[in-house]
């Protein structure tokens, strides 16, 4: 593993470990901030899931679930276990938590607005880091690339074998 990945993954994960632990600890207080987002997201998920699946409406549950996902995926990313998947999961939790906590567009106080905007932009930067981490193949081609090239190589090999057989026949 490259030294940069060995250092970068735990550094990137550290925010989510701390944030996830805070979400678990302070879920009832944070639920007030999360309520507008959960009220918007729950109906969309209701429409996207089968009727047998019950989408929870309790913002405390959503905050705790997000916190638990951040801790679990943060640990996975920090230790290099399923780094691409864990980075994608962290990115998925970052979007709603950012929308819930840093609603700078609703704040009228200039100082609060600047602080909220700073955190919003910080989370956007974290999202960029997570995007890079979720697409990082550690210098090895991804599954799609390998499948495409395996097909190409198999066709080329089949053509060579066919040409050898044809040459022997003639």
Q: What angle do CA 87, 48, 120 make, to 5 degrees?
A: 40
At residue 18, the pLDDT reads 96
pLDDT at 170 over 70: no
pTM of the predicted structure, to 2 decimals: 0.75
Residues 148-165: tens digit of each pLDDT = 777 878 888 888 777 777
Residues 93-140: tens digit of each pLDDT = 999 889 888 989 989 999 999 999 999 999 999 999 999 999 887 667
At residue 85, the pLDDT reads 94
At residue 1, the pLDDT reads 60
Cα–Cα dist 116/69, whole Å: 24
Locus of tokens 């053509």? 159
Exposed / middle / buried, residue 94 (Cβ in 10 Å: 0-12, 13-18, 19+): buried
Residues 2-24: tens digit of each pLDDT = 777 789 999 999 999 999 999 99
27, 67 contact by CB (below 8 A): yes
What DSSP string describes the chain? --HHHHHHHHHHHHHHHHHHHHHHHTHHHHHHHHHHHHHHHHHHHHHHS-TTSPPP--HHHHHHHHHHHHHHHHHHHHHTSSHHHHHHHHHHHHHHHHHHH--GGG--SHHHHHHHHHHHHHHHHHHHHHHHHHH--TTS--HHHHHHHHHHHHHHHHHHHHHHHHHHH-
Residues 62-86: tens digit of each pLDDT = 999 999 999 999 999 999 999 999 9
């Amino acid at each position: 593993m490259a030294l940069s990945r060995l250092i970068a993954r735990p550094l990137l994960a550290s925010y989510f470990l701390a944030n996830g632990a805070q979400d678990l600890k302070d879920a009832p207080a944070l639920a007030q901030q999360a309520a507008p987002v959960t009220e918007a997201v729950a109906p969309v998920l209701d429409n996207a899931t089968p009727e047998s699946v019950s989408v929870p409406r309790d913002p405390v549950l959503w905050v705790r679930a997000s916190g638990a996902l951040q801790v679990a995926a943060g640990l996975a990313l920090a230790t290099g276990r399923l780094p691409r998947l864990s980075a994608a999961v962290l990115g998925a939790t970052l979007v709603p938590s950012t929308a819930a906590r840093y609603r700078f567009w609703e704040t009228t106080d200039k100082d609060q607005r600047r602080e909220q905007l700073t955190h919003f932009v910080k989370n956007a930067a974290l999202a960029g880091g997570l995007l890079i981490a979720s697409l990082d193949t550690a210098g090895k081609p991804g599954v799609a690339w390998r499948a495409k090239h395996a097909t190409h190589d198999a066709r080329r090999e089949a053509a060579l074998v066919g040409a050898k057989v044809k040459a022997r026949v003639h």
